[in-house]
Amino acid sequence: MSKERLLTCIVCPRGCQMRVLLSDEGKVESVEGNFCKRGVTYANDECTNPKRTVTSTVRCKSGEVVSVKTDRTVPKGMMFEVMAEINGTVAEDNLKIGDVIIENVCNTGANVVATSNTK
Amino acid sequence: MKKDLVIIGGGPAGMAAAVAAYEAGVRDILILERDNALGGILRQCIHNGFGLHRFGEELTGPEYAYRYEKMVHELGIPYMLDTMVIEVSPDKVVTAMNRENGIFTIQAGAVILAMGCRERPKGALNIAGTRPAGIFTAGTAQKFVNMKGYMPGREVVILGSGDIGLIMARRMTLEGAKVKAVCELMPYSGGLARNIEQCLNDFNIPLRLSHTVVNIHGKDRLEGVTIARVDENRRPIKESEEYIPCDTLLLSCGLIPENELTKGAGIKLDRVTGGASVNGERETDIEGIFACGNVLHVHDLVDYVSEESAIAGRAAAKYIFGDSKKEISIALKTDGKVRYTVPQRLTEACDTSVYFRVADVYRDAKIVVRDGDRVIISKKKQRLAPAEMEKVELAKDVIESLSGGELTFSIEM
């Protein structure tokens, strides 16, 4: 008996409503309603190991606030751990977009990088 | 001072228009920006999801803005920051002011209006109760959290399910706040489906459709709100009232194009969009004054703002060089299910993207465009919703083949 799961794809603003059939072992058997193939990848990830990009801000030594993101997705269940590490960090000044602020955050393999330039 | 092209606003619309005008040959350009940096609202939109259409990759707001800021710098397009435009006259005299130059005027050859939009404020919502601290528009809270590093509160209720409200529900949650509910007056969400999923469902934040805030409690600081379900006429149902303790209420109840300057110039506005009425080149009813981005109509995606602003930028260049295309007298009409179209009028000999929004949620429907009685476009859609802007392409040869009169946009089941 396969199980059905309804998903809203978050890969792009189109937000496709997808119907996913899962085997008893939780493996994706089929995906319907996706407009492009990225929907299938998303459905597979979402049903086995859901992931998200985390975006936030870090305070610099000067007191300035700089926006940051994880440069790849991290496990959805680890978002708050990643946030705790980001909030426990004080960054150097003079940052440029792409500068690494935290390497391999929480052992996720993702770096936290600046997404804005400091003044 | 004289300038070939003055662009009012240095956000994504103004920058994209400037770059397109420069690429079309205009050199004497000036961007006037009220804030202390280019980038507009994108500077505080630190979440990702921008740029998939425009750059083929997923960027955060500041990164997207920087792509354009870099182009402006590399092309050497001049801009003035901390500069507020106070008037645009019908003959294209722009009056502005800043701390260095005082009040000054510029005679422009062409003007592009790119002032963006503003959030519907608390005063426009008529909510009963007290007026304590702790009530913010979602965008104000976004600026506090993302640019200043301040948290506006700990226990939050959000009224309205616009995208900024949804994004802030996630942002406040990640920063340790408890978002207790998002109330939406309408029976459907005002934001994108992906934002309901990744901003609310990911964190089990309840979306209360057909609900509104009916009372605000607290003297100095907000202590709680009373919410209630509404009937089909959007009137609150007394028996369904529910008290939610909270110290913060965020409002995400719609965006309004900021057209004070447009009105002052005597430019005709579209009552539905709240922006200027324009032709295919994004030219207003005053020759040589163009409008693009959220000041023209509120967009969901900055990628489409860039696309539209490039049209305005190229058209302004053509106007400056004296080879503008002529407007043709075909009116774009809507059936009510389609609420509006932008552009509202067509221009000869150019491929035209017509953007529009629908009035309600429609499933398994068709977008139909008719020239008189003749169907020229029929496009099936699984789902249409007011929160999602739609687009129909009218090719140049289709426009040339029109019999004249009216083009009607409708939704049919």
ipTM for the predicted complex comes to: 0.93
**B260 and B241 both lie in a single domain:** no
Other C-beta atoms closer than 10 Å to the C-beta of B405 total 12
Q: In angstroms, rounded to a whole number, what is the distance separating the alpha carbons of residues B39 and B166?
A: 22
Give the one of B43, B175, B192 whose C-beta lies nearest to A15's C-beta: B192
Q: Which two tokens stand for residue B76?
A: 């050497």
- % pLDDT > 90, chain A: 69
Same domain for B378 and B276: no
Domain boundary among B253, B273, B305: B253
Q: What is the identity of the amino acid at B19? A: V
CB contact A83 to B (< 8 Å)? yes
B86 φ/ψ angles, rounded to the nearest 5 degrees: -110, -15
Phi/psi for B307 (5° steps) reads: -60, -50
Would you call B145 and A67 a contact, using CB atoms and an 8 Å cutoff? no
pLDDT in tens, B123-132: 888 899 999 9
Residues of A in contact with B58 (CB under 8 A): 53
Query: What are the extents of the domains in chain A?
Result: 3-48, 55-114
Length of chain A: 119
Residue B122 confidence class, pLDDT cut points 50, 70, 90: confident
Checking DSSP bridges between strand B84-88 and strand B93-98, what pairing results, if any? antiparallel
pLDDT of B406 higher than 90 = no
Question: Which residues in chain B are closer than 8 Å to A81, comparing Cβ atoms?
Answer: none
The answer for B 361-400 residues in CB contact with A (under 8 A) is 382-383
B340 forms beta bridges with: B357
- Of residues B325 and B146, more confidence is placed in B146
For position B102, what pLDDT does the model report? Answer: 97
Q: Are residues B336 and B305 in the same domain?
A: no
Domain end position, chosen among B267, B294, B324: B324
pLDDT tens, position by position, B236-281: 999 999 999 999 999 999 999 999 999 999 999 999 999 999 999 9
Regarding whether B346 and B242 lie in a shared domain, the answer is no
Q: Are residues B89 and B39 in the same domain?
A: yes
Give the span between the Cα atoms of B60 and A56, in whole angstroms.
11
Residues of A in contact with B175 (CB under 8 A): 56, 83, 87
Q: What is the CATH number of domain A55-114?
A: 3.10.530.10
- Of the pLDDT bands very low, low, confident and very high (cuts 50, 70, 90), residue A26 is confident
**Per-residue model confidence as pLDDT tens digits over B158-187:** 999 999 999 999 999 999 999 999 999 999
A115 to B58: CB separation less than 8 angstroms, yes or no: no
Q: Do B383 and A10 touch (CB under 8 A)?
A: no
Q: Which residue has the tokens 């009040």?
A: B103
Under the banding of pLDDT at 50, 70 and 90, the label for residue B294 is very high
Using the Cβ of A80 and the Cβ atoms of chain B, whether some distance falls under 8 Å is answered with yes
Same domain, B242 and B310: no
Q: Are B195 and B214 in contact (CB under 8 A)?
A: no
Mean per-residue pLDDT, B62-91 = 98
B275, B299, B324: which is the final residue of a domain?
B324
Nearest residue of B to residue A76 by CA position? B202
What the block records as the tokens of A2 is: 């396969």
Residue with tokens 């006429």: B233
Share of chain B above pLDDT 90, in %: 87
Asked whether the whole model's pTM tops 0.80, one would answer: yes
d(CA B115, CA B113): 6
Taking all residues of chain A, what is their mean pLDDT, rounded to a whole number?
93
Mean pLDDT of B193-197: 92
Q: Give me the number of domains chain B comprises.
A: 3
By C-alpha distance, the chain A residue nearest B173 is: A80
Residues B104 and B186 in one domain: no
Q: CB neighbours of A107 closer than 8 A, spacing ≥ 6?
A: none
* Across A47-60, average pLDDT: 95
Residue B283, pLDDT above cutoff 70: yes
Burial class (CB in 10 A: 0-12, 13-18, 19+), A49: exposed
In the predicted structure, residue A13 carries a pLDDT above the cut 90: no
The CATH number for B308's domain is 3.50.50.60
Mean pLDDT of A43-56: 94
**Which residue in B52, B147, B382 is closest to A12 by CB distance?**
B52
Inspect the interface and report whether the beta carbons of A115 and B62 lie closer than 8 Å. yes
Q: What is the pLDDT of residue B324?
A: 82
% of chain B residues with pLDDT over 70 = 100
Report pLDDT for B38.
98
Q: What is the reported pLDDT for A1?
A: 62
The answer to whether the beta carbons of residues B393 and B353 sit under 8 Å apart is: yes
- Domain range holding B66? 1-119+255-324
pLDDT higher at A95 or A1: A95
Residues B25-58: pLDDT tens digits?
Answer: 999 999 999 999 999 999 999 999 999 999 999 9
Q: Are residues B134 and B236 in the same domain?
A: yes
Q: Do B46 and A80 touch (CB under 8 A)?
A: no
Q: Is A19 on the interface with B (CB under 8 A)?
A: no
Q: Are residue B379 and residue B353 in the same domain, yes or no?
A: yes
Query: How near does any CA of chain B get to the CA of A113, in Å?
Result: 12
Please report which helix (H) or strand (E) contains residue B309, including its range. helix B302-320
The shortest C-alpha distance from B46 to chain A (Å) reads 6
pLDDT of the residue at B323: 84
d(CA B31, CA B83): 10
Cis peptide before B343 (omega within 30 of 0): yes
Are residues B108 and B66 part of one domain? yes
B243 and B128 in a common domain: yes
Q: Which of residues 168-197 of B touch A (CB under 8 A)?
A: 174-175, 192-194, 196-197
- Mark whether B109 and B125 lie in a shared domain: no
> Which helix H or strand E contains B167, and what residues bound it?
helix B163-174
Chain A interface includes B60 (CB < 8 A): yes
